[in-house]
Amino acid sequence: MERIQSMARRQLLLKPGTQDRWKITMVKRTRSVMGTIIYYLVMLSLSFVFLYPLLYIISRSFMTSVDVANATVQWIPTHLSFANYRIAMEQIHYWPGFANSAIISFGSAFLQILSCSLVGYGFARFRFPGRGLWMALLLFTFLVPPQTIVVPLYLFFSDIPFLHMNWINTHLPFVVPSLFGHGLKGALFVLIFIQFYRRLPHVLEEAARIDGAGPVRTYWKIMFPLARPAMLVVFLFSVVWHWNDVFEPTTYLTVPDFFNLAQNMATFNGSADAQMGQMAQSVSSSQAIGMPPTLMNQIMAAVMLTIIPILLLYLFVQRYFVESIENSGIAGE
């Protein structure tokens, strides 16, 4: 009798227990669903902020100036207008500028991969007296702002000692420092390669040495091809930074024929601003309120034309790029 009672009690006790457990799992599940929803909401809104400049540029570049002035037109133009692109293409001298930009960025990026990898390997794999000092100087190079040495460098490139050549208005001031592992952010690229080579196992080199390969051959045949992830990172950074850079080009390229795209765009922007000022003065004030003169759509088309090549490049390598960043040990040990 008692046993039956206790069993029944136990079952009764068990029942609410199972219910509780079910409840807990349900609460957990709804919580995780809520978590996922919040997570994606946060991610999507952050993505919007990151995509905002691109969307802004694209939407403005297709608008007519009437649309830009129209407050009811927010994002989507009333009709697609390719006129902006046609005008911008002429105004920024697209193809010559593109050629200059391409030579500078791709040439420098290519040379920086070769030289920075070589130097990075030397730092990562060899112990020699003065190594610490040179490493410190490498960091120092990264920290010196380019403005500090711009004057002597400009004078140096305008009259190379012993050779007596003028390199201003050529691509050489960009390409030659890259050959030596310097140039735009060269020190950073060397650091990336150092971190990468440090992580590779020593066994590979030892095997190559035993098979009779010298250090240069070991590097060129075994180690360099393995550094592909680091190469990709350096290549993309180098191309993008050279492409968007205006500081060095404005210093070394002074004749419009040699301007790169970024410079052409800045020049166009300046002239467009002046033109807008004139237009604002010429129209009477009542008209100006109704339709403020603007060339913003053309400027945005020029911006779009400038970034489209690197945007395509990024779309193409993006997938491998993030993986490479993880593998290349850019973050250090």
Partner 1 sequence: MNLKMKLSIRVRHMLEGYIFILPWIVGFLLFMAIPLGRSFYYAFHRLEPSEHGLVATFVGFTYFRQAFTTDVDFLPLLQKTMTAMVTQVPLILVFAMFSALLLNKASRGKVFFRGVFFLPVIIASGAILRELLDQGAAKLPIFVQYDLFRKLAFFIPEQILEPVLEYADSLTLVMWDSGVQILIFLAGLQTISPILYEAAKCDGATKWEVFWKITFPMIMPMILVNTLFSIVNSFTKTDNHVMNHLMNIVFRNNDYGYGSAIGWLYFLFIFIVLGIIFLIFRKSMATAEGRA
Half-sphere exposure of 321 (CA within 13 A, CB side): 12
CB of 128 to partner 1, least distance (A): 4
Is residue 104 within 8 Å of residue 172, measured between CB atoms? no
CB of 276 to partner 1, least distance (A): 11
Contacts with partner 1 in 189-248 (CB under 8 A)?
190, 215-216, 219, 240-241, 243-247
Nearer to partner 1, 1 or 44 (CB): 44
Contacts 24+ apart (CB under 8 A), 60-65: 60/296, 60/297, 60/300, 61/85, 61/297, 61/300, 61/301, 61/303, 61/304, 62/297, 63/297, 64/297, 65/291, 65/293, 65/294, 65/295, 65/296, 65/297
Residue pointed to by tokens 């080579």: 197
Can you tell me which of 69, 118, 172, 213 binds partner 1, judged by CB under 8 A? 118
Contacts with partner 1 in 281-310 (CB under 8 A)?
296, 299-300, 303, 306-307, 310
DSSP 9: H
For residue 41, what are the CA distances in angstroms to 35, 38, 285?
10, 5, 45
Window contacting partner 1 (CB under 8 A); options: 12-20, 83-91, 203-211, 266-274 = 266-274
Residues that bind partner 1 (rule: CB under 8 A) add up to a total of 94
CB of 178 to partner 1, least distance (A): 9
**CA trace torsion 115, 121, 123, 124 (10° rounding):** 150
Q: Which helix (H) or strand (E) holds 48?
A: helix 2-61
Contacts with partner 1 in 4-33 (CB under 8 A)?
none
CB of 15 to partner 1, least distance (A): 29
Can you tell me which of 56, 82, 95, 316 binds partner 1, judged by CB under 8 A? 56
Contacts with partner 1 in 63-102 (CB under 8 A)?
none
Residue pointed to by tokens 């190469």: 231
CB of 260 to partner 1, least distance (A): 9
Binding pattern for the stretch 135-174 against partner 1, x by CB under 8 A and - elsewhere: --xx--xxxxxxxxxxxxxxxx--x---------------
CB of 142 to partner 1, least distance (A): 7
Can you tell me which of 10, 23, 131, 221 binds partner 1, judged by CB under 8 A? 131
Residue 183 corresponds to which tokens in the numbers above? 């140039």
Nearer to partner 1, 22 or 75 (CB): 75
Nearer to partner 1, 81 or 178 (CB): 178
